[in-house]
Each structure stands twice: as structure tokens, then as C-alpha cells.
Amino acid sequence: MDLKSLIRDIPDFPKSGILFRDITTLLQNPEGLRYVIDRFTEIFAEQSIDYVLGIESRGFLFGTPLAYNLGAGFVPVRKPGKLPGAVHGQDYELEYGTDRLEIHQDACPQGSRLLIVDDLLATGGTAAATAKLIEPLACTLVGFGFLVELSGLAGRQKLPECDINVLVEY
């Protein structure tokens, strides 16, 4: 399936000079959405994944049905103040400033096999922060799944060495 044909380009969003890859048009297409979930399921079916971690917020859209298909649990990775229990947190650099991600301290039993899923791999900051975030959990990071990679931004170079799967590359 030609997923690029289902992703809309929005010039000058969120600011002038940026070409935004809008996946909402793919999400609206039943065949496209089904293809993405089915393809991720095929890729990771033999990896013995215990938990799929979805990065807020679009990682939830792909991570939850993927976890269901894999017979795994789903764990949300959230912005600060969104999780009610005790959390581990990880700060990371943005173009202008910093941000933070959090995960429940009891999200996954020690030794679990984890898969991190998000919609976009750009500069790699968010995904790399999520990989660091799970270190205190003493689990195994099996890999990453991204719908889109903006390869010119070299985000995968910031990620730990593991399986990185991308369905659409720009």
C-alpha cells in the first residue's frame, strides 16, 4: 500500500519553512489504518513482546491496537503530571528548551520485553528519552516502530542499538 498517498503535506506548519506530514488523513482511511496496524503486527509477531509502550499521544493510536494483536500489554509514556502513580521521569532537549516524559514505576515487571511505538521519528529526542526512561525498569528494549521517519534529521542515530522499523520514509 502506498502510505505516502494517505499522508497530507501541510506547508508552513507549525511555523514558516516547515513541511508538516499530517497523518490524520491516514487515520481517516480504514484500509490505510488497518494496513499500518497489520504491518506492525507482522513485523513484531515473532519478537515475544510483553509490553508495547506508546509515546504520547499519537503513539497511543498505533500502540494500543498493536499490543492487542500481539497479546501484549500497553503502557502509556506521558507528559508530566498525567500519570496518577509514582513515576520515573526523563528530561530531553528540544530545539528551544527541554521537555519531560514519564512512566509509572510499576509499568512492567523486571525482565519484560518492550517495544516503543510512535508516529514519527524526526530528531530522535523523544524516542531516545523513552529508551532512557525504561532503564530503571530493568527490562529489555526489543525495538522501535514508527509510522514515519524524516531521515534527513538523523534521529535514529540517537537511538540505542536495537531493531528500528519504519513504514514510511521521507
**Active-site residue, from 31, 34, 46, 95:** 95
**Active-site residue, from 39, 42, 46, 58:** 58
The rounded distance, in Å, linking the Cα atoms of 47 and 114 is: 10
Task: Give the sign of the dihedral formed by CA 163, CA 72, CA 117, CA 43.
Answer: positive
Q: Give yes or no: 102 in active site.
A: no
Note whether 51 and 108 are within 8 A (CB): yes
The rounded distance, in Å, linking the Cα atoms of 152 and 54 is: 24
C-alpha cell at 160: 540505542
Q: Give yes or no: 95 in active site.
A: yes
Active-site residues, by number, are: 58, 95
